[in-house]
Amino acid sequence: MKAYNFCDPRNIKAEVLSGLTVALALVPEAVAFAFVAQVDPLVGLYAAFIVGLITSLIGGRPGMISGATGALAVVMVSLVVQHGVQYLFATVVLMGILQVAAGIFRLGKFIRLVPHPVMLGFVNGLAIVIFLAQLSQFTINPTDPNSEWLSGSTLYIMLGLVALTMAISFLLPRITSLVPAPLVAIVVVSAVVIGFGLDIPTVGSMASIGGGLPEFSIPNVPYNLETLYIIFPYALILAAIGLIESLLTLTLIDEITETKGQTSQECVGQGVANVVTGFFGGMGGCAMIGQSMINIKSGGKARLSGFTAAAFLLFFILFASDLIELIPLAALVGVMFMVVIGTFEWSSFRILHRIPKSDAFVLILVSGVTVYSDLAIAVVVGVLVSSLVFVWNSAKHIYARIGTTEDGKTTVYEISGPLFFGSISSFRDLFDPEKDADDVVVDFKNARVWDHSGLEAIDALAERYTRRGKVLHLRHLSPDCSHLLEKSVSMIEEDKEGDPHYGVLVDYTKMYHENDEAEAARL
């Protein structure tokens, strides 16, 4: 892949213009999520500015955009209603501290445990969520969930302008890439609305975005155990949701750009951003897949685009609120619809009948839970179901080749496959102590002991043969297994040249692939 030249004037221009496009798209999102959390619009805008600024500078993924998100807003609303906005600010600070701790202890690496079907479900579900979130813009009052739908000429004009925005966004890149297509679409549609005096909803119809600089303020809450008891559960949930969404978005952008982000650094960056946000009157935030996709598609690959987006957002708040409030919502909806089309993994429809049924089920399940519940629950459910499927399939892969020596005095079991808690029942059923010869050899050369349950199963096997007065020989066990075994230690036969060298509970991926190779050789 060709190296990205950050000093190239063309790249700098692309980064700045991409940042401007993202900033325009951030405004209605931040305002909408502020209303969801039932806080002042500026609380959402300040969060978008501060979180976006800090993560662009010290986050683990250049080109990724962070700000106020709906996934966090829906959790915050009950806290705000019950205890007030000051408790929200304190919660956001604690949320940030927990995220920094996750980065310090390098917990971000566990994102690699998320299977690919879960990733596809996350992407598809989030694309649907983004699409559904735009439908509120087709109501008379977008900030009121009970508002009536637009009708008549206003609705038709709105739909026409959305279509025009999407057409420009789709066709312009085929003509030139000098200017981001979404930015051109927003400018053209805004000019059409202003020039013809069309009466359709604008950013200003949602709320005024004008304000001053965010001011430092320590959250006005009692600093005691009772307050901690109130805010800690919210902070923990928000920290988990924020990190999951951020790290999954990071992984997605890694695949698109064929580069590598730093998960632990992203955890720290998100945490620091939220701590600062809480002290400056913001509602907190995390990575935004929609705005991140706009940024990447518009040519923003470096930290400059994220920094520029935050800077433009602050400029809008301080000096250009009157102009930004004139932008028709139709233009921003059209841009987000293009994001939905670009984000949704349409190939998942094509592969559903080719992948294992369990993977297809997980993909659909995660998509559905993301839409109807929230991202964190969807990912946890997806990982849990995938893990259970993996355990079940692995448990069926243990088998034995059984034979006797030429003199008929020794029964030999050649074990193949993983021995762990899920397969110990099948392992136990492989043996017949009553009918076996008085001398029994169990060869583990093609087997792997994965956990303590496997060791206990070997000990129990030794005891079964010992009770019947038969001699059991255990061959090709790794040194660590030999050390941990208790009852059968005297039965272990050492073969320094043939004994495998692997660790219990270490390098699962490697062991799993080796087992697959052994299975393939057997077949």
Distance CA 110, CA 246 (A): 13
How large is the average pLDDT for residues 376-401? Answer: 91
Given a cut of 80, is residue 516 above it in pLDDT?
no
Burial (CB count <10 Å: 0-12, 13-18, 19+), residue 523: exposed
Give the tens place of pLDDT for each residue, 22-33.
Answer: 999 999 889 888
The CATH architecture of the domain made up of 396-522 is 2-Layer Sandwich (3.30)
Residue 497 vs residue 325, higher pLDDT:
325
The answer to whether the CB of 366 falls within 8 A of the CB of 118 is yes
Task: Please give the mean pLDDT across all residues of the chain.
Answer: 88
Among 374, 333, 345, CA closest to 162: 333
Residue 74: what pLDDT? Answer: 82
- Residue 417's φ and ψ, nearest 5 degrees, are 115, 175
Q: Model's pTM, two decimal places? A: 0.79
Q: Give CATH 3.30.750.24 domain extents, the chain.
A: 396-522
Residue with tokens 């008085």: 438
Amino acid at 44: G
Residue 168: what pLDDT? Answer: 95
Position 7 confidence tier, pLDDT thresholds 50, 70, 90? low
Residue 477: what pLDDT? Answer: 84
How large is the average pLDDT for residues 447-460? Answer: 90
For 458-469, give the DSSP string: HHHHHHHHHHTT
For 285-336, give the DSSP string: -EE-HHHHHHHHHTT--SHHHHHHHHHHHHHHHHT-HHHHTTSBHHHHHHHH
Amino acid at 513: H
Give the tens place of pLDDT for each residue, 89-113.
Answer: 999 999 999 999 999 999 988 888 8
DSSP E strands in 69-180: the ranges are none
Position 142 confidence tier, pLDDT thresholds 50, 70, 90? confident
Given a cut of 50, is residue 502 above it in pLDDT?
no
Give the tens place of pLDDT for each residue, 61-76.
Answer: 999 999 998 889 888 9
Position 493 confidence tier, pLDDT thresholds 50, 70, 90? low
Position 484 confidence tier, pLDDT thresholds 50, 70, 90? low
How large is the average pLDDT for residues 320-333? Answer: 92
Residues 6 or more apart whose Cβ sits within 8 Å of residue 208: 41, 321, 325
Give the tens place of pLDDT for each residue, 187-220.
Answer: 999 999 999 999 999 998 888 899 999 999 999 9
